[in-house]
Each structure stands twice: as structure tokens, then as C-alpha cells.
Structure 1
Amino acid sequence: MELGLSYVLKSVVALIVIILAANYGLKYLNTFMTKRNQVIKVIERTPISKSSALSIVEIADTYYLMSFTDTRNEILRELTAEEKEKITASIDETKSIVPVKSKKLHSEKKAVQAFKTLQSQYQSFYEKRK
């Protein structure tokens, strides 16, 4: 009886050691697999329907409004320099620590308003295509 219990206990300990070793090994290998300088970044993604989403994507320092669906991904338009400035300003403001909550809320409202404007333009564009 004791022999069977010790065998099960040793097996469980060995299994835990193997799982931990695999976990740390995968984390170590992941440092080599991930690129430090990403060329393509999804800035913001908003679902439009069950199978489609609207995103702002930065590709090599150029911002695009993109549509993502189950069957197709397309660039709708390149964002202007003014729109790019608004987006980068809102990103910088959200990254920095703002001591007053009202300033942070104001910057978030600006970013949300800019994104909603782009979203409404996309929806009208989508309606025209039908």
C-alpha cells in the first residue's frame, strides 16, 4: 500500500517539474520569437457586427482605417496628418500619468469622438456599397 502511494506521489512531483520546466523553456524561447520593433500595430479595434470590426492600424508610421471581416480584410483609407496627430496625442496622453482625472477623461473623450467619427464614416461608406 505504501509503495503504491509513494509511486503516485513521485509521479505527481515529476509531472509538476516537467510542466514547470516546459513553461520556463517556452518563455525563454518566446524571447527569441517576438520582435522588439513591430512594424504593424493595431492601435484600436471596435466590433461593428458579429463578424466584422473596424480598426486603426499603424503600418510603418502610417495610419490606416481598416475593415476586418471573416472573409476579407481591407484598407478603407489612409488617415490624414491631422487625424494621425489626434490619435498619437490621445495615445501619448493615455500612456502618461495624469494627476487630475478630468484631464484624462477629456483626452479619452477626444479619442473616442475621433474614433466614432471614423466609425460613422465607415458605416456610411458600407451602406453606399450595398
Structure 2
Amino acid sequence: MFFSIVKLIIFLIIIIYLINISLKYLAKYTNQASQKLRIIQKLNVTKTSALGIVQIGEKYYVMSLAEQQNQIIRELTASEANDFMLNPTPKTPATPQQFKHILEVTTKKLSKGKKE
């Protein structure tokens, strides 16, 4: 009886170890796909919606992110992306001041477009 319990515990440890190794192995392949799509900065507007700067490929977009629908508000030009020093690595996202400036510029351009 005692031997069977010890045997069961050893097999459980081995199974958990194998699951851990396989998840690490799979993470290598799933992370490669996410390099093409990154959320650089995100600002929650309500509990279920947010505004974000998203990198898709080599382009940057200001997007509305919500439960029901995600929508591109506008594309940032290369000069705007450089002006705000958006680094595509998740370790160094845009500062809150840079993000606020992007939103102000976007709001001004959207309001100018509606007046015309």
C-alpha cells in the first residue's frame, strides 16, 4: 500500500515536469507569431474599453479596443512614430506623456476632419 502511494506521487511529479517542459517548448512558437502584433501602450477608458497604440508589422495604429469591437482610429505616420520614440520592444513602451500627446494629436486631426 505504501509503495503504491509513493509510486503515484513520483509519477505525478514526472507528469507535471513533462507538462512544464512541453509548455515552455510551445511558448517558443507562440511568441514568434506575436512579434508581428504588439500593443505598445494601452489606456483604459472604461471597464470594458481602452485606447491603444498597436504595432502591426512595421506600421503603428491608434486603436479603440473593446469587448464587442476593435477599430483602427488612425494610422500613425513614420515620422509620428519616430517623434514619439515608440520602441517596438515591450520592455520600453511609450511614456504616458508621449501617449497623451499622440491622443491629443489624433483628437485634433479627427475633429478637423469632421469640420471639413
Instruction: Give TM-score, length-normalised by structure 2.
Output: 0.72
Q: 1:73 aligned to 2:73?
A: no
Note the residue ranges of structure 1 that are not aligned, 5 or more in a row. Answer: 97-107, 126-130
Structure 1 pair 29/81, CA: closer, same or farther in 2 (3 Å)? closer
RMSD after superposition: 3.2
The one-letter amino acid paired with 1:78 is E
Which residue of 2 is the match for residue 113 of structure 1?
Answer: 97
Structure 1 pair 33/64, CA: closer, same or farther in 2 (3 Å)? closer
Aligned residues: 108
Which residue of 2 is the match for residue 102 of structure 1?
Answer: none
Higher Cα Rg, which structure:
1
Where does 1:25-40 land on structure 2 (aligned, <5 Å)? 25-35=22-32, 38-40=35-37
Where does 1:1-130 land on structure 2 (aligned, <5 Å)? 4-35=1-32, 38-87=35-84, 89=85, 91=87, 111-120=95-104
SS at match of 2:87: helix
Greater fraction helix: 1
Please report how far the alpha carbon of residue 90 of structure 1 lies from its aligned counterpart in structure 2 after TM superposition.
5.2
- Structure 1 segments of 4+ aligned residues over 4 angstroms from their partners: 120-125
Instruction: Give TM-score, length-normalised by structure 1.
Output: 0.65
Q: Hey, what's the Cα distance between the residues in 2 that align with 1:6 and 1:95? A: 49
